[in-house]
Amino acid sequence: MKLYADKNKAIGEKSPMIFGHFLEHFHRQIYSGVYDPGNPLSDEEGMRTDVIEALRKIKTPIIRWPGGCFVSTYNWKKGVGKNRAAVFDKSWRVEDTNEFGTDEFISFCKKTGCEPYICTNAGTGTIEEMSDWVEYCNLENEGEYAKARIGNGHKEPYSVKYWSIGNENYGSWELGAKSAPEWGRLTVEAAKLMKHVDPSIELSSAALADIDWNVNLLKNAGRYIDWISIHGYWDFPSQGGELSDYDKIIEKTGNLDDAVRKVRGLLDAFGVGKKIKIAYDEWNLRGWYHPNVHTIEQGRTKEDYLYPRDKNDLNSSYTMADAVFSACFLNMCMRNCDIVKMANFSPAVNTRGCIFTYKDGIVLRSTYFVFLLYANLLGDIVLDEWETESMYLQNGIKKTDAVVTYFSETGNYAIAAVNRDGEAESDITLCIDASGDVEISYISGADKDSFNDIDRTEIEVLSEKLGRYEKGMKITLKPHSVNVISIAEIGTRGGIR
């Protein structure tokens, strides 16, 4: 495949927030995940320092919290203050101790160096509870909630900029689900209240690539919201928890822009395509495994609905298929960087996350290395690119998925290139006017089913220097690999921390 790009033909500026993450009060994401008091690896607040360090290494820009379905029955007021009662989490049918609440989340984000993004309860919650939460976080000292934050030992406002109205309130599985007309009206009134508290916040509203839902949302609330929130999972475990294999996964990378294309069309139709941005604020190849709870008939025993969730922790599930898929998804976000300004990997820690925790440490799963490469080595501008002599897999999908980025400050280039082929190498000929030394950093694993686990490292970032760049240079990509090819003058190339 021959790859062309011109620094004067840019798609747009890549928002760092497309490398964002999500944490939910589900299974082991919070408790024994990021929050593990008593573990020697945790700090004085009970937060896992090894997790924080790993998230800092991938420059985590933003974390969405506390859900997800969890939030649709979450009462944030019970998660602050000195006396916190444990509650029964009706969404996931487990007890939540409330030890980890708003103050702890904000502290975790400060330690990680990322923006907090709070999703509010539009299921059982009220629009007043949503705006009270904004008062608690963002008012200096006016009113009872800002004073409560100060009384809880946090004098300075948290200045939380990003807020979401609801989670997937369109879905029958969501507690407190809403109809399309209800949702449009609720979003307007919630937005008015929340922005009356702090007009500087940016609001997203739960949506999907559905015309009826979005027509009601945009007709009623288009003037009040700044983001439209969509979610995507592509491989749902069978009832027994089995996941699709590599070749099946690669087929799923053929139309990753489907939802973005539909939402973009609706936003343009309503004339708000330049105002409202897309937040893909939950995405993962793998749907989470939680049988007999998103159903009408609920599981009756813990063997039915609770213990099977431990299957999410099987590290052998997360192979090069996950890394190749995730890189293709992020490439899609970059190709749409004019409108996709946030994406949140779902989740960051445990369940299907890129980091797995156990009592003595962490496992960096294959997807972690995609963020390690992309967040550290790609440029700020995404260039329009075109190809000739493309090669295709038997299923008709392009063998190589490439995005060209440019560093506006240094004039360097970095190409994100994925070889989808599970067996064969793939050649990419660079036909770009550039100068500098060429270095390729990549992950590929021993084979397409490679994975990392406790005391098992099959996937890590490797790098090779390829000499001075010449236009027409041919580079060979390993099978099932995610690569960043840098063209940079000596000493000006970014690095992996």
Binding residues (CB under 6 A) for ligand AHR: these are 24, 67-69, 167-168, 231, 282, 287-288
CB of 347 to ligand AHR, least distance (A): 9
The closest of 215, 160, 228, 222 to 188, measured between CA atoms, is 222
DSSP single-letter state for residue 395:
T
CB of 463 to ligand AHR, least distance (A): 35
Hey, which residues does 405 pair with through a beta bridge? 382, 414
The answer to whether residues 138 and 159 touch, using CB atoms and an 8 Å cutoff, is yes
The answer to whether residues 343 and 367 touch, using CB atoms and an 8 Å cutoff, is no
Copy the structure tokens of residue 73: 């029955």
Whole-number Å distance between alpha carbons of 320 and 376: 20
Burial of residue 51 (number of CB atoms within 10 Å: 0-12, 13-18, 19+): buried
CB of 89 to ligand AHR, least distance (A): 11
Long-range pairs of 306-311 with CB within 8 A, sequence gap ≥ 24: 306/93, 306/94, 308/241, 309/27, 310/27, 311/237, 311/241
The answer to whether residues 308 and 290 touch, using CB atoms and an 8 Å cutoff, is yes
Burial of residue 331 (number of CB atoms within 10 Å: 0-12, 13-18, 19+): buried
- The residue number whose beta carbon is nearest to ligand AHR equals 68
Per DSSP, which regions of 346-458 are E strands? Answer: 355-358, 361-364, 381-388, 400-406, 413-419, 426-432, 437-443
Whole-number Å distance between alpha carbons of 54 and 31: 18
Q: Around Cβ 168, how many Cβ atoms within 10 Å?
A: 23
The answer to whether residues 173 and 70 touch, using CB atoms and an 8 Å cutoff, is no
The bridge status of strand 340-345 relative to strand 20-22 is: parallel
The answer to whether residues 232 and 280 touch, using CB atoms and an 8 Å cutoff, is yes
Region of 409 (left: φ > 0; alpha: ψ -120 to 50; beta: rest) is alpha
Three-state DSSP state, 433? coil
CB of 411 to ligand AHR, least distance (A): 41
| Single-letter code of the amino acid located at 185 | R
Whole-number Å distance between alpha carbons of 485 and 150: 49
Hey, which residues does 443 pair with through a beta bridge? 482
The answer to whether residues 177 and 169 touch, using CB atoms and an 8 Å cutoff, is yes
Three-state DSSP state, 96? strand
Whole-number Å distance between alpha carbons of 497 and 495: 6
Residue closer to ligand AHR (CB basis): 353 or 422: 353
Tokens 């049988």 correspond to what residue?
Answer: 291
The answer to whether residues 339 and 260 touch, using CB atoms and an 8 Å cutoff, is yes
